[in-house]
Amino acid sequence: MKITTGIEGTFAPQSGLDTLSITGHEDRLEEDFALLEELGIQECRYPIPWHRVESRRGHYDWSFLDRVLTLVEARPGLSIIADTLHHTSYPHWLKKGFLSEEFTPAYVRFVEAFAERYPMVKKYTPFNEPTCTLDFCGFRGFWHPYTTGDTSYARMLENTARATAEVVQMLKGRNPETYIVHVDTFEHHSALDEESIARANFLNERRFLFEELLLGRVTPAHPLHAYLLASGFAPSSLAWHQDNPVTIEERGGNYYPLSEEQLRRGRTWNAPSHAPRGFAGVVSDYAARLPYRLSLTETNIQGNTTDRISWLKYMLEQCETLAHKGIALLQFAWYPLFDCAGWHCLLQGNRWRRDPQGIYSCDEAWHRVSTEFSFAYQRVVENACSAALPAYRFQSMHEAPLRGLLPQMNWDWQEPPPELCGNECLLA
């Protein structure tokens, strides 16, 4: 199992905030790529900031990415997976975001221009986490463009699935060696009352919907075929996907404590779930349903150094459990490389504080700081197994969120050494 990571880069159109700017990455490119070398990591998922490159429609400014790719090429042992659409990181002139009629052609043109300029890039993630992104943008309405309900969700799904399929076809037409790492959530939903059973079953089907559209599997026999038609998804678009299935080489999935939820009265009641199946249990669903190899492409927990070490131990142990069951993941990624901002509030508001979650911590001025967790992750890169990591008791703030997962952690717990606790809490 290859050990990797990624750099977080999300743009919020409603506020204009950009994690690449807030974290100072644009001014610390050489330092951040040196951190990858320090860890011994050879592959990194990297956000391609479409919103910056094409801030004016039809005009591409490659100056930032030229610096990035020059640094990557100068390191023969390093390559990137180009994450060409990270959540809502599209240009501001797409006023309706994923609902814009021009979204699909504009996005395909952008990725084609990127591929033409940087032919050395062979691996792509065309759309990061479409399931939760479209839910937040088009169903729940708390990300741009703030629309709600099944109709707007289906319209966004129609636009983005078509755009993703066309991008994959274009990239493989240009270079048959193109390797697609489709990244979405690893999630599970359960019902606490009879009223919620149908909704939980629906969400457990919807978690596969985006990629099954890409694969041409959404036929009249598909469980959500009727739902899509009733929500306004064009029959011609469904037929197009059946006639133009794409090939995906690897399915990456992201798992956090919030990835499992319980519903009551048809709505989220407990997130994280109080009775989670755990990472290995959830991934087993995906292995049974999808026709390609799986990876863990994101995980983390916000907290101090010892919290992160214990979560790393749990996730590694779960991957080892999967391997014993014959489900060997291709890669494992703690994400992100260094602390980020905005995820404590799900990118809401105009002030994003630091999220203590990276392999490297950051101080108030966003200087990167090596910690005991950085050294622990380096050991994992060097093939350390979960048993080699200490089991530090989580801070009290994690007792409620992790109450359902703690019984799966059958370890000899240690009290965190005071010198490792620091002040890296959720209020950082």
Mean pLDDT value across residues 298-325: 98
- With beta carbons less than 8 A apart as the criterion, state whether 339 and 358 touch: yes
Q: Of 60-64, 198-202, 391-395, 417-421, which range is least confident?
A: 417-421
- With beta carbons less than 8 A apart as the criterion, state whether 258 and 186 touch: no
Residue-level pLDDT at 422: 65
Residue with tokens 């989580």: 394
Residue-level pLDDT at 421: 77
Question: How is the chain split into domains, by residue range?
Answer: 2-421
- With beta carbons less than 8 A apart as the criterion, state whether 372 and 379 touch: no
Mean pLDDT of the chain: 96
pLDDT (tens digit, 9 = 90+) per residue, 102-155? 999 999 999 999 999 999 999 999 999 999 999 999 999 999 999 999 999 999
- With beta carbons less than 8 A apart as the criterion, state whether 359 and 3 touch: no
Share of the chain above pLDDT 70, in %: 98
pLDDT (tens digit, 9 = 90+) per residue, 242-300? 999 999 999 999 999 999 999 999 999 999 999 999 999 999 999 999 999 999 999 99
What CATH class does 2-421 carry?
Answer: alpha beta
Q: How far apart are CA 207 and CA 160, in angstroms?
A: 15
DSSP 184: E
pLDDT surpasses 80 at 425: no
pTM for this prediction = 0.97
pLDDT tier at 428 (50, 70, 90 boundaries)? very low
pLDDT (tens digit, 9 = 90+) per residue, 178-210? 999 999 999 999 999 999 999 999 999 999 999
And the tokens for 245? Answer: 């299935």
Residue-level pLDDT at 423: 53
pLDDT surpasses 60 at 427: no
- With beta carbons less than 8 A apart as the criterion, state whether 70 and 30 touch: no
What is the three-state SS of 353-411? CEECCCCEEECCCCCEECCHHHHHHHHHHCCCCHHHCCCECCCHHHCCCCCCCHHHCCC
Mean pLDDT value across residues 351-373: 97
Residue-level pLDDT at 19: 96
